[in-house]
Amino acid sequence: MKKIILAATFIGYSAFALAQDAVNVNKVVSVEQAFDKLVERKGIKDGFLAVADPDGIIFKPDVVKIVDFYSKIDKQAGKLSWQPKFARISANGDLAFTAGPYIYQNGKTDDDKVFGDYVSIWRTNADGKLKLLIDLGIQHPEAEEEVVTDFKEPDPAHRSGPSKDPFGAKNVIIGTDKTFNHGLTLSAMASYKEFLSPEGRYYFPGFPPMTGTDVVMKFINNEAISITAETTDGGRAASNDLAYTYGHARITKGNVVGNYNYVRVWEIDKTKKWNILLEIFSPIENE
């Protein structure tokens, strides 16, 4: 009887401990909101330095470590504020992202405001704290409609221990990104139809965010967009449910050709297929 009681107690305790350790998407939303408040108090430079992962990157216009860039510049002028509206976190809690609208103002009048959307990717450090891994944004006119909030909890069934082959796991998502890029050279429409999640968001400079396969494909068709792209790097959550990639793209839009940095966030579906949950293109301009 004592053994039964002890076993029941242990099972109950284990379930309680698991529940206590459950990962919630609000973790990354709260971190992002705290980051916004930190920038408001300390300024852009000190805010970014405080949250940056040692390997965290931004695009200026080429890839540069956040720490290297902000430690070498003077205090950055202007005020920057933003609001997370789209967020996910991996089942293990080691990888997450948020995206949403931002406002940058370097003056006192409304005419001095710059509007756009940002994407931030976060990963945990050795202490389990989320640190900023990638940050990228686009500009577009002030949005006429409120952005729909989309925060979704991870599937606890994906929770897992440390990967036995982390390099192999990374190679899978890099290979998937390269496959998608190859498909873009053949047919952008067909590639997005195959790889873009039904709830995927698409961020293109000069336009408000777009959501859903049909909307994105209509935009690509109407704007006569063709894309060639090359993968630079990427990574994957230990729980194998969330991943990211980034690289360079050359985009033809009508008669205009430009170079861009891209970042993609991938999620895995029930059939174990990786789909694009988010894609952002940021123009490469000399700064």
The CATH number, out of the four listed (1.10.1300.10, 3.10.450.50, 2.60.40.420, 3.30.750.24), of the domain defined by the range 26-157: 3.10.450.50
148-166: per-residue pLDDT in tens?
Answer: 899 999 988 877 655 555 5
| Structural domain boundaries in the chain | 26-157, 166-283
- The pLDDT assigned to 5 comes to 41
| 216: pLDDT strictly greater than 60 | yes
Percentage above 70 pLDDT, the chain: 89
Buried b (16+ CB within 10 A) or exposed e, 156-189: eebbeeeeeeeeebbebbbebbbebbebbeeebb
pLDDT at 9 over 50: no
Tell me, what's the pLDDT at 22? 81
Cα-Cα-Cα-Cα torsion 48, 267, 218, 119, nearest 10 degrees, comes to 0
* Per-residue pLDDT tens over the stretch 229-261: 999 999 999 999 999 999 999 999 999 999 999
Arithmetic mean of pLDDT, 33-39: 98
Q: Taking the model in full, what pTM does it have?
A: 0.89
96, pLDDT greater than 70: yes
pLDDT value, residue 144: 87
Average pLDDT, stretch 163-172?
70
Instruction: Please provide the average confidence, as pLDDT, over all residues in the chain.
Output: 90
> 87: which residues sit within 8 A by CB, 6+ positions away?
25, 28, 29, 32, 96, 97, 98, 99, 150, 151, 152
Look at residue 3 in the predicted model and tell me its pLDDT.
45
The yes-or-no answer to whether 26-157 and 166-283 have a common fold is yes
**What CATH number should be reported for the domain whose range is 166-283?**
3.10.450.50
Q: Average pLDDT in the 169-194 region?
A: 96
Q: pLDDT at position 285, please?
A: 79
Q: In the predicted model, is pLDDT for residue 42 greater than 70?
A: yes
